């Protein structure tokens, strides 16, 4: 499970005149997300941000569990666990700022990008050497899939 702003994007939002915000993200992060899904992993996004482009990007990668506009992430995280029959120990969560803090603490593995807030870094189990929107997501997914022998497999070459 991943936060969007600051994790899947670099945290910058470029505002268009119509009020839509544009976010910059990494295609390498996107590739790894899709590859994880092809290997049977359940991937979800939990974000306080709102934007149809965010949902479209995630849906295009095969992610259907996209929870946006969340005001209190721990409640949304707990609801997601209940709805999907999961325990917190089964979830890796990557976030970057104070709204992610409680979820990072509760998740089985709490991770963050290199440019996360110092409060989040203090409680994270893993701090990626990469920044949000610039390979942090790829880093954690690649590590998980590599350990389980699913990184450079047949599905790695299919989009």
Domain ranges of the chain: 4-157
65 and 79 in contact (C-beta within 8 Å)? no
4-157, CATH topology level: Rossmann fold (3.40.50)
What was the pLDDT predicted at 159? 61
What confidence tens digit (pLDDT) does each residue in 131-142 have?
999 999 999 999
- Residues 105 and 54: their CA atoms lie apart, in Å, by 25
Q: Would you state the structure tokens that stand for residue 34, as one six-digit string?
A: 């899709």
pLDDT-based confidence at residue 156 (cuts at 50, 70, 90): low
Q: Whole-model pTM?
A: 0.94
What was the pLDDT predicted at 21? 87
pLDDT-based confidence at residue 158 (cuts at 50, 70, 90): low
What was the pLDDT predicted at 153? 79
């Amino acid at each position: 499970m991943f936060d969007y702003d600051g994790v899947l994007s670099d945290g910058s939002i470029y505002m268009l005149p119509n009020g839509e915000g544009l976010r910059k993200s990494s295609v390498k992060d996107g590739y790894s997300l899709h590859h994880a899904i092809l290997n049977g992993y359940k991937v979800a996004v939990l974000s306080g941000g709102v934007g149809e482009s965010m949902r479209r990007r995630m849906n295009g990668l095969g992610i259907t569990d996209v929870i946006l506009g969340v005001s209190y992430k721990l409640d949304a995280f707990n609801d997601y666990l209940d709805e999907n029959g999961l325990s917190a120990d089964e979830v890796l969560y990557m976030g970057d700022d104070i709204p992610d803090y409680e979820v990072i603490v509760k998740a089985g593995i709490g991770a963050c990008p290199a440019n996360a807030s110092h409060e989040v870094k203090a409680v994270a189990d893993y701090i990626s050497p990469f920044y949000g929107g610039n390979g942090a997501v790829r880093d954690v997914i690649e590590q998980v899939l590599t350990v389980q022998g699913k990184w450079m497999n047949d599905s790695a070459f299919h989009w």
